[in-house]
Amino acid sequence: MPFYLQRGNIPTKRHIQFKDENGNLYWEELISREGFSSIYSNVYHINPPTAIRAVGKFQPKTLEIWRKEHRHHHLKTYELNSPGDSIKSRIPLFFNNDVILSKATLTESMKEYYRNGHYDEVLFIHTGKGEFKSNFGNMIIGEGDFIIIPRGVIWKLEIDVPLVHFIIETAGPVETPTRYRNRNGQLLEHAPYSERDIRTPEIMEPNNDKNITVNVKLKTGIQSYLYENHPCDLIGWDGYYFPWVFNINDFMPITGKVHQPPPIHQTFQAPGVVICSFVPRLFDYHPKSVPAPYAHSNVDSDEILYYVKGNFMSRRGIKEGSITFHPSGLPHGPQPGKIEESLGKKKTNELAIMVDTFKPLNLTTLSKTIDDEEYPFTWL
């Protein structure tokens, strides 16, 4: 994130002696991107963060491609049954070299800590509430929250009410859109949200528990480590690198006299991926405007729409938790009658998330059981 935060106690300079009241040195750790050439945070541990007592058995995990004809898809993810915690309940549905898209239904809290070593993550909370706990601090989370978790952050999710969430894992950093930032990184006056809308972690009392398991996700599986010391034993930290939360209901939609193109809904960016928020908004105000979106041919991108709630005015047969997949090379748009139905309408109450990728997506074999095979013919 392009702003500086300081939490807890830190020394006046980096890389100098920093001691507790008994004269013991705190352990400084640098967490950084692109080696030493991008954003970073310096964190200060009571105990060494490097002490490992045991290395667990590697658990290989691979994504299998469902090799199907090139067509539009509607996945009924509300039919998935995937109980468990935030990691065990994940069902990956789409992937390419830039992104993995999954759905999860959380019925229990995470007992062990987790770190994604190869992907940044966005957890969208569709329903439910709980608490996100990390080495940077804790945040209360609930319906509509995007939790942005840079790779390397150690965390777990504890639930108060069972959670349903949509997960976006990206091969590069998740950032605010470049076009909505000034040259110093601040969100511009005309951006659809501002830094005031972003929630950041509050550091807690250092945890001195011993023998803590951290499961590390890699591209090919999960490796567990038993650490001597707790990862949340921080006395303080500062920097630009930390997890954060933005709620979709704080997105301020941009509207126009005629229908505006999807980039106005962009909320985040990552290499090869854009993430957009479709929220309740006023329709166009030209006297002859057509509120329903026009037909569009995806020439350079694949489009995923995750439907959250509301009236999805350009689609029929869609429910909360539906995912539509419109691959590159094929036109798509409102289904028959939906354009006429939209004429004269003043506003929409739909809530949805769009993920566009600039490399073709693969469906996983796990998506096969919830695919609506009749969806490509719904434009007849």
Q: Are residues 106 and 215 in contact, defined by beta-carbon separation less than 8 angstroms?
A: no
Q: What is the mean pLDDT of residues 82-86?
A: 92
Non-local (6+) Cβ contacts of 131 within 8 A are 138, 139, 140, 141, 157, 158, 160
Q: Is 49 helix (H, G, I), strand (E, B) or coil?
A: coil
The mean pLDDT value for 49-64 works out to: 96
* Residue 284 dihedral angles phi and psi, to the nearest 5°: -65, 150
- CATH fold match for the domains 51-63+82-231+242-248 and 249-377: yes
pLDDT tens for residues 286-333?
Answer: 999 998 888 988 899 999 999 999 988 778 889 999 999 999 989 998
- For 200-321, where are the E strands, in sequence order? 210-218, 221-229, 234-239, 244-247, 266-270, 273-278, 281-282, 296-297, 302-309
* Contacting residues for 27 by C-beta, under 8 A, at least 6 apart: 44, 45, 46, 47, 48, 49
Q: What percent of the chain has pLDDT over 90?
A: 88
27: tokens are 């352990």
pLDDT at 315: 81
Q: What is the mean pLDDT of residues 105-119?
A: 97
Residue of 105, 48, 112 lying closest to 81 (CA atoms): 105
Please answer whether residues 63 and 95 qualify as being in contact, where contact means their C-beta atoms are separated by less than 8 angstroms. yes
Give the C-alpha distances (Å, rounded to integers) separating 278 from 148, 181, 216, 296: 18, 21, 33, 17
Domain boundaries, the chain: 51-63+82-231+242-248, 249-377
CB 275 within 8 A of CB 267: yes
Bridge partners (DSSP) listed for residue 364: 65
Q: What is the mean pLDDT of residues 101-106?
A: 96
Identify which of 113, 88, 86, 114 has the alpha carbon closest to the alpha carbon of residue 207.
Answer: 113
Show Cβ contacts of residue 79 under 8 Å, excluding neighbours closer than 6 positions.
369, 370
Return mean pLDDT, the chain.
95
Q: How many CB atoms lie within 10 A of CB 159?
A: 18
Amino acid 241: pLDDT: 97
* Cα pseudo-dihedral 204, 128, 171, 118, rounded to 10: 50
Q: According to the model, what pLDDT value does residue 81 have?
A: 86
Q: Could you read off the pLDDT of 250-273 as tens digits, one per residue?
A: 999 999 999 899 899 999 999 999
**To which residue do tokens 């350079």 refer?**
300
Task: Write down the pLDDT at residue 82.
Answer: 86
Q: Which residues pair with 74 in a beta bridge?
A: 324
Strands 40-45 and 198-199, by their bridges, are unpaired
Q: DSSP 3-state helix, strand, coil percentages of the chain (rounded to 5)?
A: 10, 45, 50
Q: So what's the pLDDT on residue 177?
A: 97
- Encode pLDDT of 8-32 as tens digits: 999 999 999 999 999 999 999 999 9
pLDDT digits (tens, 9 = 90+) for 154-170: 999 999 999 999 999 99
The whole-number pLDDT of residue 35 equals: 93
Q: What is the mean pLDDT of residues 218-228?
A: 97
- The pLDDT value recorded for residue 1 is 65
Cα distance between residue 248 and residue 309, in whole Å: 12
131: Cα separation from own chain's centroid? 16
What's the CATH number for 51-63+82-231+242-248?
Answer: 2.60.120.10
Q: What is the distance between the alpha carbons of residues 47 and 228, in angstroms, rounded to a whole number?
A: 9
pLDDT at 303: 97
Which CATH number does the domain 249-377 belong to among 3.90.25.10, 3.40.120.10, 2.60.120.10, 3.30.70.2860? Answer: 2.60.120.10
Q: In this predicted structure, which of 66-70, 167-171, 192-196 has the lowest mean pLDDT?
A: 66-70
